[in-house]
């Protein structure tokens, strides 16, 4: 039963806190099976699936996680969900003095600082670890706050392992705890009362006293919470254990429920995560993995029948203005689509500062996934790749990447997932996602079905330095070739490439179907060139270029096939970029089946009409932006 606007008494703002940092993107060192993406998506899924109330998430993050999560929640547009971020680096000093052996590191201690970290007008909060799966409406857990009496300020579930009993191995000495102690993966905190009783001083004094003999924490914040409770048991309200069913190899979690329907919260409370021992673990794992593959756009459904005033309302208004009888309605509707985006889907390292470094920027869908290993063998530099995938395909990609020794060995590749929405491939949106998230001063704007020549990365870095393009608007062109053979002995030099060109094993790119796309590169001159040379823009020119990262972005109105790169090169020319061909660089296009969009372009007259419509509108916009300087583009279009 959904809440209505008239039944405001039923509306409940549920406030959560997730301790989310880069260290916790993967919850234990080397643990790639239970990554932060999975935690974030399933956590949102399970909480949002069952909820009937607004949610307010408070997230403590570092700067990298803030960038990833901020973009994620902005693009997912989950209704009635408010997000607040807090800077973890400002809180580290509060707990950095505490030695901690737990795999969470310093971030596992930040729960202790919540009375200080969160706004003073926030009176209560549910604190969740990121490896939590909800199986019920979180409002049920929130309602337990009403059961707190007397001095109770903490709601916790008893620990389900024997850790605090001290009998796991010989000479095992845990921190002091009340009986079995309590697990802090799920906590109900009455912040206002905690502040009144001087929580900050209380936990600090306790930690200082115990560290004199214990020397470090083994379970991070949990040790300190339990030591405080040991001395002040009246502070805790014991939650029924089905609110934190702790899965690990040494717990009594199965005693928490007689029927699986009794479960409220599943806590993957182990570095092993999905590989823990429990007689129902296969069912839990299946439930978890099934939700990972569900269509995340379903989270955008309005669960509460009240206007929420969220920013995507403008998109809905624009969609309402479209004419469904327009033959190009699909192009216009999908041009307004807001795609869900998850940046840095897999962990990667930022490249060290280098004034001449260059990132290969490309986009792909599931049918081009096999190109990744090949490109990794040809390009050793950083890459920023946007992948257009469904939720289920994202999980297939994850498994593929984890099973690939080549991909696992690369730490300088950023994978950014753009989730499928509609029928037309948003090629320029994908390029822009990859471009915006490159982290070097220069970018090589390529396509995923091209293999760079061996050594191209170093050659481009040297060319960038020699051409001094840092202070000029210059686009360095990398000449493109193609082969029709699925098995190719890849040329190791320009001389070898020219020989294969003469023998018919290679061709200049698209010379037989779209010669004008690359003809201005002047391949005849390139054959004998030993120094870079300038070329002029020409209609339909679409070379692959190296430019500064702050170059103009691609025009996102172009979807599917047609004019997506042409429009970008025209924009560069309009902004007076010089086009300079590199004499000793090349890339080779590898053969593959035609994409759905190119097949549609070839077979559908209406598709081609709509592409022409987009071209006309682009020309009009160019005229408005660049005035008389854009006349040459209109003239060239009319003289075709």
**CA gyration radius, the chain:** 29
How many whole angstroms separate alpha carbon 529 and alpha carbon 82? Answer: 59
Residue 564 CA from chain centroid, whole number: 24
Which DSSP category does 301 fall into?
A: S
Dump pLDDT digits (tens) for 399-458.
999 999 999 999 999 999 999 998 899 999 999 999 999 999 999 999 999 999 999 999
Residue 468, C-beta contacts closer than 8 angstroms, at least 6 positions apart: none
228: tokens are 């405080």
Return averaged pLDDT per consecutive 10 residues of the chain, 640 residues in all.
32 51 28 38 59 83 86 88 87 94 87 93 89 85 95 95 85 92 94 96 97 95 97 96 84 75 82 72 79 81 53 67 81 88 92 95 95 96 97 93 95 96 93 97 97 98 92 94 88 96 93 87 97 96 97 94 93 96 97 77 86 91 90 79
The DSSP bridge partners found for residue 158 are 182
The pLDDT, as a whole number, for residue 405 is 96
The pLDDT, as a whole number, for residue 459 is 98
| Contact indicator for 544, 444 with CB cutoff of 8 Å | yes
| Contact indicator for 579, 535 with CB cutoff of 8 Å | yes
Q: How many CB atoms lie within 10 A of CB 56?
A: 16
How many whole angstroms separate alpha carbon 153 and alpha carbon 405? Answer: 49
How many whole angstroms separate alpha carbon 274 and alpha carbon 286? Answer: 10
| Contact indicator for 131, 20 with CB cutoff of 8 Å | no
How many whole angstroms separate alpha carbon 346 and alpha carbon 62? Answer: 17
How big is the chain, counted in residues? 640
The pLDDT, as a whole number, for residue 212 is 95
Dump pLDDT digits (tens) for 185-198.
999 999 999 999 99
Taking alpha carbons only, the member of 293, 310, 393, 288 closest to residue 75 is: 310
DSSP 172-217: --PPP-STT-EEEEEEEEEHHHHHHTTHHHHHHHHHHHHHHHH-SB
Could you list the beta-strand ranges (E) of 142-299: 154-158, 182-190, 236-239, 245-246, 265-267
Three-class SS state of 607: helix
The pLDDT, as a whole number, for residue 631 is 86
293: tokens are 């593959």
How many whole angstroms separate alpha carbon 153 and alpha carbon 536? Answer: 72
| Contact indicator for 348, 414 with CB cutoff of 8 Å | yes
**Region of residue 403 (phi > 0: left; psi between -120 and 50: alpha; otherwise: beta):** alpha
CA distances from 545 to 444, 530, 553, 563 (A): 6, 18, 13, 16
- Residue 399 backbone phi and psi in degrees, to 5: -65, -40
The pLDDT, as a whole number, for residue 20 is 47
How many whole angstroms separate alpha carbon 190 and alpha carbon 194? Answer: 6
The pLDDT, as a whole number, for residue 599 is 80
The pLDDT, as a whole number, for residue 520 is 96
Three-class SS state of 128: strand
Three-class SS state of 593: coil
Residue corresponding to tokens 């337990």: 144
Taking alpha carbons only, the member of 117, 123, 359, 156 closest to residue 238 is: 156
| Contact indicator for 304, 54 with CB cutoff of 8 Å | yes
532: tokens are 């870079």
| Global confidence as pTM | 0.87
The pLDDT, as a whole number, for residue 430 is 98
Q: How many CB atoms lie within 10 A of CB 168?
A: 12
| Contact indicator for 570, 538 with CB cutoff of 8 Å | no
Dump pLDDT digits (tens) for 241-290.
999 988 876 667 777 877 777 888 888 877 666 777 777 777 888 877 77
């Amino acid at each position: 039963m959904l809440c209505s606007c008239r039944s405001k008494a039923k509306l409940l703002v549920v406030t959560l806190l997730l301790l989310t940092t880069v260290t916790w993107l993967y919850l234990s060192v080397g643990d790639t099976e239970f990554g932060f993406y999975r935690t974030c998506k399933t956590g949102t899924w399970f909480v949002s699936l069952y909820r009937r109330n607004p949610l307010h998430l408070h997230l403590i993050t570092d700067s990298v996680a803030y960038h990833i999560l901020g973009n994620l929640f902005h693009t997912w547009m989950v209704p009635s969900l408010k997000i607040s971020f807090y800077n973890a680096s400002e809180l580290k000093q509060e707990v950095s003095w505490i030695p901690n052996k737990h795999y969470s590191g310093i971030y596992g201690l930040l729960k202790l600082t919540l009375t200080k970290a969160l706004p003073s007008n926030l009176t209560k909060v549910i604190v969740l670890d990121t490896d939590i799966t909800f199986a019920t409406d979180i409002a049920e857990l929130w309602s337990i706050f009403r059961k707190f009496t007397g001095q109770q300020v903490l709601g916790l579930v008893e620990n389900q392992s024997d850790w605090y009993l001290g009998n796991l191995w010989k000479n095992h000495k845990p921190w002091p705890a009340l009986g079995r102690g309590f697990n802090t993966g799920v906590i109900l905190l009455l912040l206002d009362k905690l502040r009144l009783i001087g929580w900050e001083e209380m936990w600090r004094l306790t930690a200082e006293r115990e560290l004199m003999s214990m020397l470090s924490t083994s379970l991070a914040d949990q040790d300190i919470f339990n030591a405080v409770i040991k001395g002040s048991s009246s502070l805790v309200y014991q939650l029924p254990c089905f609110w934190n069913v702790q899965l690990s190899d040494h717990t009594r979690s199965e005693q928490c429920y007689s029927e699986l329907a009794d479960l409220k919260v599943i806590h993957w409370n182990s570095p092993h995560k999905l590989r823990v021992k429990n007689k129902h673990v296969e069912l839990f794992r299946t439930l978890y993995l099934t939700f990972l593959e569900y269509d995340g756009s379903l989270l955008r459904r309005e669960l509460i029948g009240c206007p929420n005033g969220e920013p995507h309302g403008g998109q809905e208004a624009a969609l309402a203005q479209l004419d469904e009888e327009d033959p190009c309605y699909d192009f216009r509707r999908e041009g307004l689509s807001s795609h869900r985006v998850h940046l840095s889907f897999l962990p990667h390292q930022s490249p060290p500062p280098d004034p001449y470094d260059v990132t290969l920027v490309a986009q792909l869908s599931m049918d081009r996934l096999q190109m990744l290993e090949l490109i990794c063998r040809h390009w050793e530099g950083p890459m920023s790749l946007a992948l257009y995938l469904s939720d289920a395909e994202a999980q297939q990609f994850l498994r593929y990447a984890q099973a690939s020794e080549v991909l696992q060995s690369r730490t300088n590749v950023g994978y950014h997932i753009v989730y499928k929405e509609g029928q037309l491939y948003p090629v320029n949106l994908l390029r822009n996602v990859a471009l915006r998230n490159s982290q070097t001063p220069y970018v090589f704007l390529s396509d995923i079905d091209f293999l760079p020549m061996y050594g191209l990365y170093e050659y481009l870095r040297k060319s960038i330095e020699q051409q001094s393009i840092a202070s000029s608007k210059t686009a360095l062109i990398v000449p493109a070739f193609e082969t029709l053979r699925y098995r190719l002995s890849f040329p190791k030099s320009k001389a070898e490439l020219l020989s294969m060109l003469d023998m018919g094993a290679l061709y200049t790119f698209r010379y037989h179907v779209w010669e004008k796309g690359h003809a201005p590169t002047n391949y005849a001159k390139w054959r004998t060139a030993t120094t870079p040379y300038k070329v002029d823009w020409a209609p339909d020119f679409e070379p692959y270029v190296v430019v500064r990262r702050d170059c103009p972005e691609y025009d996102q109105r172009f979807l599917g096939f047609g004019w997506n790169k042409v429009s970008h090169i025209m924009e560069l020319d309009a902004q007076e970029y010089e086009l300079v061909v590199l004499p000793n660089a090349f890339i080779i296009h590898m053969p593959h089946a035609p994409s759905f969009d190119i097949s549609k372009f070839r077979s559908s007259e209406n598709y081609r009409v709509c592409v022409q419509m987009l071209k006309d509108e682009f020309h009009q916009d160019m005229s408005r932006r660049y005035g008389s300087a854009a006349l040459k583009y209109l003239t060239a279009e009319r003289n075709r």
